[in-house]
């Protein structure tokens, strides 16, 4: 059964012992937030999802904060109802590649949409009082990191649903010092929409609307059924609707309801919906922001959304997640679609691709089902490297480090990848240095373009396959114990070794 909403997903985690309520008071105010330390601790111990019931320094004390719900590859797989992470990736890749398996969303009336339980109209909107503010680390503003933004192409009405961050300006530090104007604090959010270079689809919608001097309507749906979030984090070709894809992941349509103040549709079971407009040319500098590469962005300029209506469920939940040195909570739910996108693209062209693993630090590892003499042709590993950089979508082309391994190397195990590099690679012959690849926009080591963000980056591809026939006729046999024998021996000695 697909999850009806975020609550159903959390119930599933509870059944599996992957969720705990925390009633210990914890601080979340800007000056003394304990939540970065909590995120690190939870990841150090491979910890569960938690619900923080007693936050201090919190503007909405009646709203509990869900924390770390996607913090492992296992929980991320569960978000699309699969137990095994590899199966989840294969499911995502299969549904992505088969549009016949997608389902168009179904509309429901406002009366059947829990997200309309409470409606706050324009004259009453005051973000600092009504929307949770949770601070983290040395960040200047509080960020909304669990919202999917819905917009329509201003020229043809095609819908986009994308998972992007939003900055709350209430009580925030301005990166140039001081604070924001009273209007900004009460009504405005900054939206992480990039359009130069074109990197996300909301950015293209903003550029089209503003190019014609028009406002762009936007709705942000927060804490939805996780399948909607996974779909919104997946880079579909421009013009395709993430709600349709989410229906494919769920095996049944997503239920939508009409917004109050804009011509947009939102998931009916979202915990919160913020509706508004982005007025042409309205931008703002924001910072500090802790990013997923593990550094603070001191200042970035983003377009502004003016919030004109807020709706939410009775007793709403809030999901707060944060970015820092990986791994962190939503690292894995961001990586699953990237792996699925690249895997889907490569497998359509190259059946010998068995798996694509993206590490929390965004190193791409491609595992093949063949190696050595079984490769279809010499230098097959290098062909794979180029195929990753040429893969469809937003991510493959930004892969700074790619490693190709054979079927006997576990692509999830950095130790085995290192072993393959050390024993199967000659640095000059088996490594490609691409001097003019596309940058991962958050990489602080890449030179910045005139727009202030990196656009070009050097890239490295390592072909760690066995070089038969390229260099050898024969390769030494691997000396290692069979995993089944290891398990049997461990059982035999359990009383002695534990």
Ligand X SMILES: Cc1cc2nc3c(=O)[nH]c(=O)nc-3n(C[C@H](O)[C@H](O)[C@H](O)COP(=O)(O)O)c2cc1C
Q: Which residues bind ligand X (CB under 6 A)?
A: 145, 160, 162-165, 192, 194, 199-202, 233-235, 330, 333-334, 394
Q: How far is the CB of 234 from ligand X (least distance, A)?
A: 5
Given the complex with ligand X, which of 193 and 437 has the nearer CB atom? 193
What's the token pair of residue 458? 């050097």
Given the complex with ligand X, which of 264 and 425 has the nearer CB atom? 264
Given the complex with ligand X, which of 10 and 466 has the nearer CB atom? 10
CA dihedral for 321, 327, 333, 338, sign (positive or negative)? positive
Q: How far is the CB of 167 from ligand X (least distance, A)?
A: 10
Given the complex with ligand X, which of 246 and 333 has the nearer CB atom? 333
Given the complex with ligand X, which of 190 and 357 has the nearer CB atom? 190
Nearest alpha-carbon partner for 37 in 65, 63, 68, 14: 68
Nearest alpha-carbon partner for 453 in 438, 466, 468: 438
Q: How far is the CB of 293 from ligand X (least distance, A)?
A: 12
Q: How far is the CB of 426 from ligand X (least distance, A)?
A: 35
Given the complex with ligand X, which of 30 and 165 has the nearer CB atom? 165
Q: How far is the CB of 262 from ligand X (least distance, A)?
A: 18
74 touches 88 (CB < 8 A): no
Distance CA(136)–CA(8), nearest Å, equals 27
Distance CA(387)–CA(350), nearest Å, equals 9
Q: How far is the CB of 272 from ligand X (least distance, A)?
A: 15
Q: List helix spans (H) across 350-432.
A: 380-389, 414-424
CA neighbours closer than 13 Å in the CB half-sphere of residue 355: 19
Q: How far is the CB of 396 from ligand X (least distance, A)?
A: 12
Q: How far is the CB of 58 from ligand X (least distance, A)?
A: 21
367 touches 409 (CB < 8 A): yes
302 SS3 class: strand
DSSP state of 448: B
CA neighbours closer than 13 Å in the CB half-sphere of residue 281: 2
Q: Between the CA atoms of 461, 465, 468 and 474, what dihedral angle is there, to the nearest 10 degrees?
A: 140
CB within 8 Å of 352: residues ≥ 6 apart: 368, 369, 370, 375, 376, 380
Q: How far is the CB of 5 from ligand X (least distance, A)?
A: 18
Distance CA(229)–CA(330), nearest Å, equals 11
Given the complex with ligand X, which of 201 and 400 has the nearer CB atom? 201
CB neighbour class for 110 (10 Å; exposed up to 12, middle 13-18, buried from 19) = middle
Given the complex with ligand X, which of 194 and 272 has the nearer CB atom? 194
Given the complex with ligand X, which of 200 and 306 has the nearer CB atom? 200
Given the complex with ligand X, which of 149 and 425 has the nearer CB atom? 149
Distance CA(78)–CA(88), nearest Å, equals 8
Distance CA(413)–CA(402), nearest Å, equals 15
Length of the chain: 498
Q: How far is the CB of 302 from ligand X (least distance, A)?
A: 9
Q: Whose CB is nearest to ligand X? A: 192
């Amino acid at each position: 059964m697909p999850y009806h909403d975020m609550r159903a997903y959390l119930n599933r985690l509870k059944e599996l012992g992957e969720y705990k309520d925390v009633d210990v008071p914890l601080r979340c105010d800007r000056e003394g937030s304990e939540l970065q330390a909590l995120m690190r601790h939870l990841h150090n111990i491979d910890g569960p999802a938690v619900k923080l019931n007693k936050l201090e320094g919190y503007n909405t004390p009646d709203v509990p904060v869900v924390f770390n719900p996607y913090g492992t590859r296992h929980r991320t797989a569960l978000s699309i109802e699969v137990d095994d992470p590899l199966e989840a990736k294969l499911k995502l890749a299969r549904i992505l590649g088969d549009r016949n398996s997608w389902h168009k969303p179904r509309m429901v009336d406002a009366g059947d949409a829990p997200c309309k339980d409470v409606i706050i109209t324009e004259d009453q909107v005051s973000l600092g009082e009504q929307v949770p503010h949770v601070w983290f680390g040395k960040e200047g503003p509080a960020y909304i990191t669990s919202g999917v933004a819905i917009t329509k192409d201003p020229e043809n009405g095609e819908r986009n649903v994308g998972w992007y961050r939003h900055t709350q300006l209430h009580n925030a530090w301005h990166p140039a010092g001081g604070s924001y104007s009273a209007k900004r604090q009460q009504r405005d959010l900054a939206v992480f929409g990039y359009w130069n270079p074109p990197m996300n689809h909301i950015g293209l919608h903003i550029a089209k609307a503003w190019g014609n001097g028009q406002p762009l309507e936007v709705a942000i749906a927060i804490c939805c059924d996780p399948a909607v979030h996974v779909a919104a984090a997946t880079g579909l070709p421009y013009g395709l609707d993430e709600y349709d894809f989410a229906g494919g992941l769920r095996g049944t349509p997503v239920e939508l309801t009409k917004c109050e103040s804009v011509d947009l549709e939102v998931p009916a079971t979202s915990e919160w919906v913020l509706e508004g407009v982005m007025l042409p040319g309205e931008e703002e500098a924001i910072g500090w922001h802790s990013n997923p590469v593990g550094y603070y962005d001191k200042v970035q300029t983003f377009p502004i959304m003016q919030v004109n209506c807020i709706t939410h469920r009775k007793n709403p939940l809030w999901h707060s997640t944060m970015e820092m040195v990986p791994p962190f909570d939503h690292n894995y739910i961001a990586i699953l679609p990237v792996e699925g996108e690249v895997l889907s693209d490569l497998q359509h062209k190259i059946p010998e691709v068995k798996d694509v693993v993206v590490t929390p630090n965004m190193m791409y590892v491609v595992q093949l089902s063949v190696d050595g003499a079984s490769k279809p042709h010499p230098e097959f590993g290098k062909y794979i490297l180029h195929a990753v950089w040429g893969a469809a979508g937003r991510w493959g082309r930004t892969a700074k480090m790619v490693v190709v391994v054979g079927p006997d190397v576990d692509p999830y195990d950095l130790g085995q990848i290192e072993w393959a590099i050390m024993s199967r690679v000659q640095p000059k012959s088996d490594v490609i240095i691409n001097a003019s690849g596309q940058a991962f926009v958050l990489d602080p080591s890449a030179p910045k373009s005139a727009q202030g963000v990196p656009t070009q980056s050097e890239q490295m591809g390592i072909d760690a396959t066995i070089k038969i026939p390229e260099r050898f006729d024969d390769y030494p046999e691997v000396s290692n114990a069979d995993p089944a024998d290891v398990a049997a021996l461990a059982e035999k000695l359990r009383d002695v070794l534990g």
